[in-house]
């Protein structure tokens, strides 16, 4: 009898979960994402994550939300050289876009967090970003009835830091960009790219060597490379090296996606290049020489027309008409 009760309980739980299950819809050009087994996607969890993502109450002075630095209106970045946190404090690196970030195993420019669940709590605790301890954050959110109720529905608990991370990560996994002119062209629509963009595409995947790192459906190998940016400084940002301590990782940063790149200026980990023209010019020269400069960086000897074609491909080919322009939700009280 006890066995039957357990069995019924198990069946009812499974049924409840399946009813809310959320199936990600992948735009043309993207592939199925690797999802963590302990954080299945559900409608309610994604909605909860969206509220948390846009809620400035996750910061000490109620001024900074995830969206402050990763703003849908600014390419899910912030349009600035660096991230700006509470009390106007400035970080030392640019805010990477959230678009397609669910495809990346390593998170942050230096890969110090694993998957989105590992990343989500970092900025909350960073004193120059949102400046809360996890205990303070959980206490603040537990004082908001709307959050407590949703956490009970989604996780069966009051607000927890693990739940916050899972909910935000679930929402971020839905921020996808594909179905760009490049994808349509690749799928056979020859009118999807202009002639200049087609020439730029050929350069991108060939002579300009961009696809050595900006590879695959997300235009990123999700790996770390030293492209020389900032390495001409006396005390450069060592990037990935701070995590691995491997000499070869000195000055290496994660390859960012190039999808929606036209919206995410300024560029590079330090926001030091204002335009895509500047970026192409930088790579054409082969990057700042340094002992750990990636072997894929070398002078490209591109003509002015080739540089212009590359920029056209980046702007035209990788900007989707289905850009994920998500509006902030009503926040719980």
Partner 1 sequence: MRTSILSIIALLTFALAPAWADHHVSTVVDGLDNPAGVAIQPETGHLFVSDSGASRVIRVVDGKAQDVITGFPVDVYGKGPMYNIGPLGLLFLDKNTLVVGGGGLKDGEELLRVYKVPAAGEPAIGADKMAASFNLAENDDVKGEGNFYALAAIGNNVFVTCNGDDTKGWVARATIKDGTLTNYERFLATKEATEVDAPVAAAISPRGELVIGQMGEITVPGDGLLTFYNAHNGKMLLNLATGLSDITALAYSPKGQLYATDFMWTDTKEGGLFQLISKEEDGKQSIEAKRIETLDKPTAIAFGLDGSLYITVIGTGEGDAKGGKLLKIEPGL
- Return d(Cα 54, Cα 20) in angstroms, integer: 22
Contact flag: residue 258 with partner 1 (CB under 8 A): no
Choices 48-56, 68-76, 185-193, 245-253; region in contact with partner 1 by CB under 8 A = 245-253
Q: How far is the CB of 221 from partner 1 (least distance, A)?
A: 5
Residue among 55, 129, 183, 249 that touches partner 1 (CB under 8 A): 249
- Return d(Cα 253, Cα 154) in angstroms, integer: 35
Return the number of the residue (48 or 213) whose C-beta is nearest partner 1.
213
- Return d(Cα 263, Cα 245) in angstroms, integer: 33
Choices 47-55, 155-163, 210-218, 310-318; region in contact with partner 1 by CB under 8 A = 210-218
Choices 94-102, 144-152, 190-198, 215-223; region in contact with partner 1 by CB under 8 A = 215-223
Return the number of the residue (53 or 108) whose C-beta is nearest partner 1.
108
In the chain the beta strands, taken as DSSP E runs, fall at: 106-107, 113-114, 224-225, 253-254
CA distances from 60 to 65, 91, 222, 299, 332 (A): 10, 17, 32, 47, 18
23 catalytic? Reply is no
Q: How far is the CB of 295 from partner 1 (least distance, A)?
A: 8
Q: What binding mask, one character per residue, do residues 73-112 give for partner 1 by CB under 8 A, x or -?
A: --------------------------------xx----x-
- Return d(Cα 151, Cα 115) in angstroms, integer: 21
Return the number of the residue (40 or 296) whose C-beta is nearest partner 1.
296
Contact flag: residue 40 with partner 1 (CB under 8 A): no
Residue among 17, 127, 145, 291 that touches partner 1 (CB under 8 A): 291
Residue among 222, 265, 280, 310 that touches partner 1 (CB under 8 A): 222
What residues numbered 189-208 form the site for partner 1, per CB under 8 A? 205-207
Residue among 215, 308, 326, 331 that touches partner 1 (CB under 8 A): 215
Sole residue written with tokens 């560029």? 267
Active-site residue, from 117, 129, 260, 316: 129
In 147-241 the beta strands, taken as DSSP E runs, fall at: 224-225
Residue among 57, 240, 288, 307 that touches partner 1 (CB under 8 A): 240
Q: Dihedral, CA atoms, 108, 259, 55, 268, nearest 10 degrees? A: 40
Q: Which long-range contacts (CB under 8 A, 24 or more apart) does 186-190 make?
A: 186/29, 187/28
Contact flag: residue 145 with partner 1 (CB under 8 A): no
Q: How many CA atoms lie within 13 A of 277 on its CB side?
A: 3
Contact flag: residue 250 with partner 1 (CB under 8 A): yes
Contact flag: residue 221 with partner 1 (CB under 8 A): yes
SS3 of residue 182 by DSSP: helix
SS3 of residue 251 by DSSP: coil
Contact flag: residue 209 with partner 1 (CB under 8 A): yes
Q: How far is the CB of 245 from partner 1 (least distance, A)?
A: 10
Choices 68-76, 89-97, 166-174, 211-219; region in contact with partner 1 by CB under 8 A = 211-219
Q: What are phi and psi of 329, to 5 degrees?
A: -85, 170
Q: How far is the CB of 212 from partner 1 (least distance, A)?
A: 4
CA distances from 81 to 88, 274, 293 (A): 14, 9, 23
Buried b (16+ CB within 10 A) or exposed e, 251-261: bbbbbbbbbbb
Annotated catalytic residues are 129
Residues that bind partner 1 (CB under 8 A): 105-106, 111, 205-207, 209-213, 215-217, 221-224, 226, 240, 244, 246-250, 252, 291-292, 294, 296
């Amino acid at each position: 009898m006890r066995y039957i009760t357990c069995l019924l309980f198990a069946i009812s739980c499974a049924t409840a979960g399946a009813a809310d299950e959320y199936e990600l819809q992948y735009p043309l050009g993207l592939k199925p994402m690797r999802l963590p087994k302990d954080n299945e996607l559900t409608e309610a969890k994604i909605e909860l994550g969206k509220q948390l993502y846009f809620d400035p109450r996750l910061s000490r002075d109620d001024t900074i939300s995830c969206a402050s630095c990763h703003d849908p209106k600014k390419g899910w970045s912030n349009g600035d050289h660096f991230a700006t946190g509470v009390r106007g404090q400035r970080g030392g690196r640019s805010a990477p876009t959230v678009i397609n970030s669910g495809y990346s195993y390593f998170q942050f420019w230096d890969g110090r967090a694993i998957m989105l669940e590992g990343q989500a709590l970092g900025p909350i605790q960073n004193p120059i970003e949102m400046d809360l301890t996890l205990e303070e954050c959980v206490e603040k959110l537990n004082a908001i009835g709307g959050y407590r109720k949703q956490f009970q529905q989604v996780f069966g608990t009051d607000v927890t830091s693990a739940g916050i991370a899972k909910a935000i990560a679930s929402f971020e996994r839905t921020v996808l960009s594909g179905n760009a002119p490049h994808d349509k062209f690749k799928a056979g629509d020859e009118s999807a790219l202009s002639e200049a963009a087609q020439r730029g595409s050929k350069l991108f995947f060939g002579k300009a060597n961009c696809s050595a790192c900006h590879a695959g459906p997300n235009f990123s190998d999700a790996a770390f490379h030293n492209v020389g940016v900032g390495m001409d400084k006396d005390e450069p940002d060592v990037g990935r090296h701070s995590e691995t301590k491997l000499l070869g990782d000195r000055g290496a940063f994660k390859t960012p996606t190039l999808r929606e790149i036209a919206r995410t200026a300024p560029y590079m980990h330090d926001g030091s290049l204002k335009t895509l023209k500047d970026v192409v010019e930088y790579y054409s020269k082969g990057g700042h020489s340094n002992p750990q400069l990636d072997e894929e960086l070398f002078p490209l000897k591109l003509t002015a027309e080739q540089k212009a074609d590359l920029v056209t491909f980046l702007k035209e080919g990788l900007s989707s008409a289905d850009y994920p322009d998500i509006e902030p939700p009503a926040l719980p009280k």
